[in-house]
Structure 1
Amino acid sequence: MIADRLNRLARKVPAAVLYVLGLVQALWLFYLGATGGLGVEPIKALEHELGEIALQLIIAGLCITPLRRFAGINLLKFRRALGLMAFFFVTLHLLVWLVLDVQIPALIWADILKRPYITVGMLAFALMIPLAMTSNGWSVRRLGARWRKLHRLTYAVAVLGGIHFLWLVKGFQMEPILYLAAIVQLLALRVRPVRRKQAA
């Protein structure tokens, strides 16, 4: 079966591969930005690419539970790496905006307060901080059942990230709509239907 083959392959691939690939991708994007490979507005393009990769990684993390539940494909070992790499790319996305784009602290706070898509994006980033800080074995053991409850913030992060992308673009574009639709669908798949008690 395809699921069995994929599971065997997943067992052979270490999760550290995702960290290496993510780092290489980030370095490549910065290289393109520095050498003119991202067009006439490299900073804006770099911001967009980093943010979009982060959203893709978040969506990939949301896919893991439905894949295991409905297709029998177990990629659970990669979920932590996907989450941490998503946080890594979101942090780079934010730093490019802060350091290379806006630069002036007063304008930064003004943008956060006045532009809804930036407000939503900053809220998503703030929620990701405790998730990243507790994405380790020690926190899992220390927090116990509370760890699962805390990491349900991932759902809110995903929705906020999708809304941030949707509000960011100008005019009607299908790409952010498809991202948000995918997030909503993946979250809907996680809802277990309540079984009605059968009459005796």
Structure 2
Amino acid sequence: MIKDTINSTARRIPAWLVYTVGILPAAWFLYEGLTGGSGADPIKALEHELGEFALKLLIVGLCITPLRKHLGVNLLKFRRAIGVMTFVYVVLHLLVWLVLDVQIVSQIWADIVKRPYITVGMVGFALMIPLALTSNNLSVRKLGVRWRKLHKLTYGIAFLGALHFVMVAKGIQLEPLLYMAVVLGLLALRIPKGTLQIAGRFTAKSVDN
């Protein structure tokens, strides 16, 4: 079966390879910016590409549990590495904005406060920090069940990341909305069936009334 082939291949691939391969797109984005391949505004292009790739990694991370639950494809060994690389890309995205784009310290705080899409992005980044700090075996052992609860912040982070992308876009654009739809779909898969049944009965009663 296909899932058995995928699982067998995944077992042979070391998790550290995710870090090695994962940083290559960042190097490519930087190369394009330096060589004029990113258009008239290479800084904005680099900022956008790093942020979008971080969102893609978030989505990949969210796919791992549904793949295992619904299709029997087990990629759990790569989830932590994908999460760490997501944080790396968010940090790079933020650094490009801070160092190359805004540059003026006073303006940074003004943008965070006055521009809602930046506020949303910064909240998402703040939520990622404790996850990055506890993405190690020692933290897993020390925190136990609390570690799993803490890392459910990923769901909120994914939503905020998609919302940030939608808000950044000028006008209604299809691509950010598609990202949001995918994130909402993956989050919906995590809602317990019992909750959906209760919500369905409640909705049905409301309609009848």
Question: Fold conserved (TM > 0.5)?
Answer: yes
Query: Within 1, Cα distance between the matches of 2:150 and 2:168?
Result: 28
1:78 equivalent in alignment to 2:78: yes
Give the gaps of 5 or more residues in structure 1: none
**Distance (whole Å) between structure 2 residues aligned to residue 97 and residue 84 of structure 1:** 20
- Aligned match of 1:109: 109
User: For the residues of structure 1 that align with 2:27 and 2:185, how far apart are their CA atoms?
Assistant: 32
- CA distance in 1 between counterparts of 2:154 and 2:148 reads 10
129-138 or 26-35: bigger deviation:
26-35
Alignment of 1:22-171 (within 5 A): 22-171=22-171
TM-score (ref. length: structure 2):
0.92
Displacement of 1:192 in angstroms is: 2.1
TM-superposed CA distance for 1:21, in Å, is: 1.1
Residue in structure 1 matched with residue 181 of structure 2 by the alignment: 181
Calculate the aligned-residue CA RMSD, in Å.
1.1
Shift of 1:8: 0.5
Q: TM-score, normalised by structure 1?
A: 0.96
Unaligned stretches of 5+ residues in structure 2 = 198-209
Q: Give deviations 1:131-162, integer Å, cap 9, x for gaps.
A: 00000100000001100110010000000000
Alpha-carbon distance between aligned partners in 2 of 1:122 and 1:192, rounded to the nearest angstrom: 30
The separation in 2 between residues aligned to 1:87 and 1:161, in whole angstroms, is 12
AA partner of residue 189 (structure 1): L
* Residues 56-77 of structure 1, C-alpha deviations (whole Å, 9 max, x = no match): 0000000000000000000000
Give the letter aligned to residue 81 of structure 1.
Answer: A
The secondary structure found in structure 2 opposite 1:47 is helix
> What residue number does 1:12 align with?
12
Determine the C-alpha separation between the residues in 1 that align with 2:143 and 2:171.
Answer: 44
The amino acid across from 1:27 in the alignment is A
Residue matched to 1:190? 190
Identity of counterpart residues, as a percentage?
63
* Residue deviations 1:102-154 (CA, integer Å, cap 9, x gap): 00001110100000000000000000000000001000000011001100100
Q: How many residues align?
A: 196
Q: Counterpart of 1:159 in 2: which secondary structure? A: helix
In the TM superposition, structure 1's runs of 4+ consecutive aligned residues that sit over 6 Å from their partners are: none
User: Aligned equivalents of 2:175 and 2:146: distance in 1?
Assistant: 35
Secondary structure of 2:80's partner? Answer: helix
Give SS of 1:194's match. Answer: helix
SS of the residue 1:36 aligns to: coil
Mapped to 1, the partners of 2:79 and 2:18 lie a distance apart of: 10
Q: Structure 2 CA distance, aligned partners of 1:25 and 1:175?
A: 20
